Structure 1
């Protein structure tokens, strides 16, 4: 039985249930999402993105968790069941929800609000008085218990988790405007107009008074897409406003209906929306004190338990890199890179600024042999820089993946470039002497 941390004031969250929105298709993360949904994308060598919100909920003492999935839901739910073994977590319950099928086929969710609305009958049976709504594709270490406490003290119908952001980040987020008591006065989604941005700019004096980080740089309060609703307020909102999305539609509507508060969070947070953000978030872990904290034993991120040996390294120069279990590394050099589970890199190869996602097995099972390479490895005397190598890839000898023409975008059979980053898609075989 896996044991999860308990908080001292556990009773405070007994009447809270978590809803994790895990239905994202992740088109901007293609080709990593060609065969998996965005919350099921691998992260940090051995995790999936979905592990983050589930772990944060369990660490915060919230044990009633609903997972709403849509695309590639079978493989996502299989991973969750293997990782969290929900039948064996003391007092916890994970429930899986997905689009229902009718005579016209699957009744797909049209947005974040629509996904919850179409499952309202399930949520009405839940005894919890508060619903915590999380995204399945964000990175953060957050004591959600503290946010619940804040929401209850404020007696807010809706509480929005916020963090200070710069103008560049503000343009791709929802922004809130608050008063001195953190009551939300207004909300706008992804503003591009400078006049609108000016209206949401927070004064440096206010930031200093509230002890915000870097008050000279972070002039806006951005929504993290994390919400706590009172149960009755959520149901009423979804029944009265039939639009599809919280950020684009319903948050503004709720501000006009009842009390809305902003919870301030000053830790690490990253929304994995693009290949570039995924790449940077992974490699940030190879630098000290940057990125998601995976080394906090009192607030762990839980991973699928695997019975693998430690990585074996043979005469390789390694600098600022992470090597995961079951790996066999014979490379000449691995610098500022991440090598996932069961990675195999052969002699003479140089890997820099690269994510090797790793493999689910050393050799393909017979049921998958027809559409996967016969083995998974990176060959001898290769040079790979600024790349993402997806799982179950076979790279031949003397291959160069260096983006020699400095392309921002490129598409071919199994090999892509996005934001200047080379991506080798899952299941791809690259022949000897291939150069890009």
Structure 2
């Protein structure tokens, strides 16, 4: 085996189904979902790795991986495919014991211990491929070193009503974690794990092997590995992240994160050249707004043709909007045709959908509707 020494290796968990996103993940993994017009969710984590100078990234795929695998390729669009680094797709595989799915986030890393060992890293960075944020992982590593931490958990404050969706931590004045509560309704803190961890590799490897031997384990970082580290009283610290971060695990949170991009002073600045968000480069013609077209407060991607009215919306590439049609407070994914005399409000339109003339959806509810071509009247 040819080895290549790296100080840190990133392992990006990208196999999630995302069942709460309903039809959006019927045919693709959650990290492959379109976001912000020209991006997919996984672009943010991969771009963070690139901008942070992390050269070696293993992407662990599982559920409906075809679209995701094609999107990532060898990582060249994120400038990670270089002489001293690469992106490697790591699906479940059949070993001597036969093939099986990854049983949990910890098991996924355990099954790829040989991949990590190939680079002889001192540290391993564990990431999720379905969160929207911009973070300098090098700063996280420096904090980990400064604290002489064995495990560091990136954390952010979330609204109290959402604490049951996350692993919640209590910390002392030095940011040492002394309590970890996994998705409980009676949380005593609102400091949530971001699903971003740095481990000393020798420590993580030991815990992964022990966890695999435990037949009662669910093989999960939040449910098993972190609580066991806490039980053993190892030096584990929280790194409190102050920037924009969203776990877009529901249709409503995905829609809201897209709407956040439309604010004049959006916390998630896509136009910051010092920290670019990269994506797979595809060639489209310029967008076109016709004589009857009217576009306000909208992200308008390449290849769009607009003859109607668009307000406060996010349009992916190659969206067509016909005359006398209105799209308001909505997210439209690629290759959608919205014909004449249509009104859509507070919806997400899935890719390749054709919305027939005369369709009216004036959604004023908190629940965001998904339009996928099977809705009556489309």
Q: Do both share a fold (TM > 0.5)?
A: yes
- Name the structure 1 match of 2:161: 168
Residue aligning to 1:115: 108
Residues 36 and 261, structure 2, Cα contact 8 Å, conserved in 1: yes
TM-superposed deviation, 1:102:
6.0
Aligned to 1:303: 279
Matches within 5 A, 1:162-311: 162-193=155-186, 197=187, 200-201=188-189, 220-242=190-212, 243=217, 244-257=219-232, 258-311=234-287
Give CA-to-partner distance per residue, 1:201-258, whole Å, 9 cap, x none: 4xxxxxxxxxxxxxxxxxx321111000000000011111233111112101012332
Residue 255 of structure 1: SS of its match in structure 2? helix
Q: Is the 8 A contact 1:186 1:255 kept in 2?
A: yes
1:328-343 residue pairs with structure 2 within 5 A?
A: 328-331=305-308, 333-343=309-319
Instruction: Measure, in 2, the Cα distance between the counterparts of 1:233 and 1:97.
Output: 22
Larger mean CA deviation between 160-169 and 52-61 belongs to 160-169
- Kindly report the root-mean-square deviation, in angstroms, between the aligned alpha carbons of the 2 structures: 2.1
Matched, 1:422 2:369: yes
- Kept in 2: contact 1:179–1:185 (CA 8 A): yes
TM-score, scaled relative to structure 1? 0.80
Residue 389 (str. 1) matches residue 312 (str. 2):
no
Aligned to 2:55: 63
Q: Number of matched residues? A: 366
Q: 2:209 is paired with a residue of what secondary structure?
A: helix
Q: 1:74 to 1:23 in 2, by over 3 A?
A: same
Q: Is structure 2 residue 53 aligned with structure 1 residue 35?
A: no
Any conservation in 2 of the 1:268–1:291 contact (CA below 8 Å)? Answer: yes
User: 1:395, 1:430 within 8 Å by CA — same for their partners in 2?
Assistant: no
Partner of 2:300: 323
109-118 or 98-107, larger mean C-alpha shift: 98-107
Q: 1:352 to 1:87 in 2, by over 3 A?
A: closer
- TM-score relative to the length of structure 2: 0.91
Structure 1 range deviating more: 119-128 or 279-288:
119-128
Q: Could you tell which deviates more after superposition, 251-260 or 275-284?
A: 251-260
Cα distance in 2 for partners of 1:124, 1:192 equals: 39
Change (3 A) 1:83 1:94: closer
> Quick one: which of 146, 151, 169 aligns to 1:158?
151
- Alpha-carbon distance between aligned partners in 2 of 1:305 and 1:78, rounded to the nearest angstrom: 12
Once residues 257 and 375 of structure 2 are traced to their aligned partners in structure 1, the CA distance between those partners, rounded to angstroms, is 27
Deviation of the 1:290 alpha carbon:
2.6
Query: Alpha carbons of 1:302 and 1:238: their partners in 2 closer, same or farther (altered >3 Å)?
Result: same
Asked whether the equivalents of residues 330 and 347 of structure 1 are also in contact (C-alpha less than 8 Å), the reply is yes
What secondary structure is seen at the aligned counterpart in 1 of 2:261?
helix
- In the alignment, the residues of structure 2 paired with residue 82 and residue 400 of structure 1 have an alpha-carbon distance, to the nearest angstrom, of 43
Contact 2:74 2:86 in 1 (8 A): no
Q: Which moved more, 1:161-170 or 1:175-184?
A: 161-170
> Which residue does 1:380 correspond to in 2?
340
Is the Cα–Cα contact under 8 Å of residues 52 and 138 in structure 1 kept in the other structure? yes
Give the direction of change, closer, same or farther, for the CA distance of 1:429–1:248 in structure 2 (3 Å limit): closer
Matched, 1:145 2:138: yes
Q: CA deviation at 1:291?
A: 4.8
Instruction: Check conservation: 1:83, 1:303, Cα contact below 8 A.
Output: no
Give the superposition deviation at 1:182: 1.1
Report the secondary structure of 2:330's partner residue: strand
Unaligned regions of 5+ residues in structure 2, if any?
Answer: none
